[in-house]
Structure 1
Amino acid sequence: MYHQRQLPYAPTPYSYTPISNLSATISLDEEVKLSTTNAERDLYESLAELYSIIVTLDAVEKAYLRDSMKEVEYTDTCSRLLKQYKSVLNNDTVAKAFVDIETFTREWDMECPRATERIRVGIPATVEASSYKSTTNNGGNADADVILVVTATENFITVLDAVKIGMLEKDTLHPLLADIIQAVNKVTDEEFDSKSKIIQWLITLNQMKVSEKLTEDQAREFQFDIEQAYYGFKDTLKR
């Protein structure tokens, strides 16, 4: 007698039909929304932006350590990312959902140790290194100077970013330019390339009505002048 070999699985009858109450209740082509209100959407977008900043910052830190990025480029990029990070977290709702960098990276399973450390320190590695060097050489009086340099750098970046995204109104640019002048004067009293341009633009903006904004031609000229002033300011730091 031949014995029928037992199958390792239970055969499925050809007559089987799915039970109707187990079928999908929504269209598979329907978009699933993560938020139902504008407030929720804004919160998720802000958290996604923070995620992107952290990942990007970690990549920048790695590139700098591998000498794949010049010091000037690294300092500018790192300062901008840190400023954007702080800016997003200025919103109380976002800050509450974010909690802190350790909680956020753990919750989303992020492996970004370099970005986490850089955010904890709060300044680029280049500035951190110069801070240590200056402190050891000048008896511990350099911390305030480093903070002033970082503040001035951030002010330049803020103005240039504002122009790039089309924020050309007088009531936006004038106070930002005033912050630049105050910041650089605390760092150095030297005249540097295009510093006078900042004053000229302050005068130009001051003569405009609050509702007025720069034209496209003015915006291009403004951006060029501020960039030249920024480079001139950085050159004074090397002397």
Structure 2
Amino acid sequence: MKSCVITGPGNSMAAYPEVREVKLWNDKREREMYDNFADLFAIIKTTEKLEKAYVRDVISAKEYEPACAKLIAQFRTLKTTLKDTVPDVERFMEAYKMDCPAAANRLLMSGVPATVEHKSASSDTGTAVAVAECVQHYITAMDSLRLNMVAVDQVHPLLSDLVSSLSKVPLLSPDFEGKVKGREWIAVLNKMGAADELNEQQVRQLQFDLESSYNAFINSLPKSSA
């Protein structure tokens, strides 16, 4: 059990012979919980600093993207660990006076780095290859739902890959249905634990959204690309 000694104002313990011991934790489990709280706090704060650095052009997109992706992955892992003690991350941020709107958006809403979310039209990957990737991710996601793969840790990476691949297609506008719906579903999944499963209504709605946006995707392509 770790503790600290409170001696009152001043630096001399001699002036305050009666000291009071403050317990920071009572057992190993409680200590681990507070360590996890500290890690969560640090991840959120670091993400906020990273987002601001990217917006202010302090770091390049090449440096930003892997660092942001790592923080998002760490956040999701820790969020699952703390699902019982921190069921609502936004309330955690309020309790600890964390004014981190950029981090909240990146970790709780978007779920992907800004470079992926707002991919520029120019891409190293050719349009035809990007289109093929999108088709593959659409089919994989829809087939997975039909096979009842509905746990968050099964659905989330499929939708993240889909949104990422859609961002590489220069023909699609930022408000393309598939991008918008994909980000909305990722935001929903970010509020759930990794082992949680979509209910029947959610699965049906996600299937509908995927099929609808897939058809819109195919119809948006020139005949030669489709």
Higher helix share goes to which structure? 1
**Structure of larger gyration radius:** 1
Q: Could you state the TM-score of these two structures normalised by the residue count of structure 1?
A: 0.44
Q: Which structure has the higher relative contact order (CA within 8 Å, separation 6+)?
A: 2
